[in-house]
Amino acid sequence: MDKIARIDMGAAGGPKVTVGDLGAYAGLGGRAMTSIVISTEVHPLAHALGAENKLVIAPGMLSGTTGSMTGRLSVGCKSPLTGTIKESNAGGQAAQVLARLGYAAVILEGKPEGDDLYKIYISKDGIQVIVDNSLKLLNNYPVIEKLRGEYGDKVAYMSIGSAGERKLLAASIACTDPELRPTRHCGRGGVGAVMGAKRVKAIILDDAGMKMRPPKDPDKYRDANRAFVEGLRKHPVTGQGLPAYGTNVLTNVLNEAGGYPALNFKSGQFEGVAKICGEAQAELEIKRGGSATHGCHRGCVIQCSGIYNDKDGKYVSKQPEYETVWSHGGHCGIDDLDVIARLDYMDDNIGVDTIEMGVTIGVAMDAGLAAFGDAEAAIRLVEEVGNGTPLGRVLGCGAEITGKVFGVERVPVVKGQALSAYDPRAVQGMGVTYATGTMGADHTSGYAVATNILKIGGDIDPLKTEGQVELSRNLQIATAALDSTGMCLFVAMALMDQPETFQAMFDMLGSFHGTSMTGEDFVALGKKVLSAERDFNTRAGFTKAHDRLPRFFYTEQLAPHNIAFMVKDEELDEVFNW
């Protein structure tokens, strides 16, 4: 990956493509690439849907290689949902193909006049930007079906649904999985709305004629990758729990811990949890001829996804992930997996973040638009989003806006982005991450559940404040670095328990690039990324006052532990003091 492509969608006479070397961005990948480009090149006060914003698409440092678990793609911009810097990543095939084509980043700039819609075709022969108004307001599944008729099945696709075209603030960008289904989403922060504002409907990535990226030291890279895979396979989470039951294996765990937010964060447990947990889901998937084990991209050895079929054995959606099952399930009082899978498909097709959409529906239920547990009403509300009605546009802009429009007091967001499936009162470390993360409430930015609940990498009591700030700080640093490699976040489960597996990952990075990578180097990379993100946010007007949870988490005690969020403001302000 030795080049950056810039596509000026607003150039005089039509979109203009320029390809150059990496320059100051040499050595960067994934989140490091997206965040440092955005922090360097985008005015922090720019309108997120305006011409000044940029959309940076970057494979990880190891993407496009024979290395396992290296297929994550980062997309970065100024977020229209939060106003902060944003990196959203996804699996699927896009990162591997883009990396093999030699691009460390593709940057969409400017904004075209008029209402033409564009697709971008990237191959070994270059980049073409093509008007294709036949794609207007199509959702993701029909878009990919139509494009496959033109470009075939040996490519990867990225696309936005109607939500992205309408510039709804919860809009996602879909990446196709190995079966070319648009099921892997850069979901959070409204990145799909920025792609829609650039009038780009789809990106076709064709690596025909290209080979795997070769490591500088092939023998050492092969040996390091083998040791890395062995570590993943012997860990109980990455080698057993996730492959057998998918990410939804966490449902019973969090419910038992009293940290599973139900009915818009009114309780830490959901009475219908046995019907929607990972064990029940896997059993149903297998019974119907689907699968409880599936990789979102080639080279995945954890295989935490799956295939969900209906009662007649027909495909409905990819296996709804833990966050999706929670947001449309327990959060909304719904205990029917068939309904949740249908909502998952609708979200993917329309092109909205499943977490933001599910939390929004729960807020709407709290407002009285529907009753908690009313599955048909939940489906109708998501249909409103897909139809672009006035109500649908409100809902499609997320939980915060929906709460403001309908006068809801309990709106679980930080910096405008919805919380995910861990109540910060029962998992205090997650509260620190939600409050202080650079991109709004985001469980993936510092997954304290690992140590608070799963006891991975140590044991810090989730109901106490001691050690939570240091835990979140260290996890946020490590995650920022890991997001830059192209590796899946779930590898961290093994890395935190197995020093030899962590070393194998360092050896993969070093042997591939012909350098050395140490733990100190990894920490330095994470700090560099976070510093760039924090700098952007500060210049955009964010202060320590924004690094707080909504007030109800401090004033309302959560059953069954009857506890509030207790980490003090002055402690939250210490997270980034390194």
Which helix (H) or strand (E) segment holds residue 504: the answer is helix 499-513
Letter for the amino acid at 164?
G
Rounded CA Rg of the chain: 22
Instruction: Please give the pLDDT value at position 244.
Output: 87
- State the Cα angle at 80 between 79 and 82, rounded to 5°: 65
Parallel, antiparallel, or unpaired: how do β-strands 16-20 and 3-8 relate?
antiparallel
CA distance 308 to 304: 13
Residue 12: exposed, middle, or buried by beta-carbon count in 10 A (0-12, 13-18, 19+)?
A: exposed
Residue 321: exposed, middle, or buried by beta-carbon count in 10 A (0-12, 13-18, 19+)?
A: buried
Residue 480, phi-psi category: left (phi > 0), alpha (psi -120 to 50), beta (remainder): alpha
Per residue in 502-534, pLDDT (tens digit) is: 999 999 999 999 999 999 999 999 999 999 999
Cα–Cα nearest to 8, from 97, 86, 111, 104: 111
Per residue in 99-116, pLDDT (tens digit) is: 999 999 999 999 999 999
Per residue in 185-198, pLDDT (tens digit) is: 999 999 999 999 99
CA distance 240 to 35: 34
H runs (alpha helix) in 437-467: 449-452
H runs (alpha helix) in 110-202: 140-151, 162-165, 191-197
Structure-block tokens of residue 344:
């998952």
CA distance 469 to 436: 10
Cis peptide before 390 (omega within 30 of 0): no
Per-residue pLDDT, averaged over 135-139, amounts to 98
**219 contacts: CB under 8 Å, gap ≥ 6:** none
Parallel, antiparallel, or unpaired: how do β-strands 118-123 and 200-205 relate?
parallel
* CATH code matching the domain that covers 215-238+429-578, chosen among 2.40.50.180, 1.10.599.10, 2.20.25.90, 1.20.1270.30: 1.10.599.10
Instruction: Please give the pLDDT value at position 297.
Output: 80
pLDDT at 568 over 90: yes
CA distance 349 to 318: 12
Check if the beta carbon of residue 250 is closer than 8 Å to that of residue 322. Answer: yes
Instruction: Please give the pLDDT value at position 153.
Output: 96
Parallel, antiparallel, or unpaired: how do β-strands 156-159 and 200-205 relate?
antiparallel
Tokens 């390194």 sit on residue: 578
Check if the beta carbon of residue 492 is closer than 8 Å to that of residue 478. Answer: yes
Instruction: Please give the pLDDT value at position 101.
Output: 98
Check if the beta carbon of residue 297 is closer than 8 Å to that of residue 177. Answer: yes
Structure-block tokens of residue 509:
């990075």
Instruction: Classify the C-alpha dihedral 211-212-215-219 as positive or negative.
Output: negative
Per-residue pLDDT, averaged over 469-482, amounts to 97
Letter for the amino acid at 252?
N
pLDDT at 401 over 90: yes
Parallel, antiparallel, or unpaired: how do β-strands 184-186 and 173-175 relate?
antiparallel
CA distance 346 to 41: 35
Per residue in 275-333, pLDDT (tens digit) is: 999 999 999 999 999 988 888 888 888 888 899 999 999 999 999 999 999 999 999 99
Q: How many helices (H) and strands (E) does the chain have?
A: 25, 17
Say whether domain 3-205 belongs to CATH 3.90.79.10.
no
Predicted TM-score of the model (pTM): 0.96
Average pLDDT over the chain reads 96
Per residue in 80-94, pLDDT (tens digit) is: 999 999 999 999 999
Instruction: Please give the pLDDT value at position 433.
Output: 98
Q: How confident is the model at residue 1 (pLDDT cuts 50, 70, 90)?
A: confident
Domain spans, the chain:
3-205, 215-238+429-578
Instruction: Please give the pLDDT value at position 246.
Output: 86
Per residue in 329-366, pLDDT (tens digit) is: 999 999 999 999 999 999 999 999 999 999 999 999 99
Per-residue pLDDT, averaged over 369-376, amounts to 98
Instruction: Please give the pLDDT value at position 171.
Output: 98
Tally Cβ neighbours within 10 Å of residue 154: 10
Per residue in 199-229, pLDDT (tens digit) is: 999 999 999 999 999 999 999 999 999 999 9
- Quick one: what percent of the chain has pLDDT higher than 90? 95
CA distance 451 to 336: 30
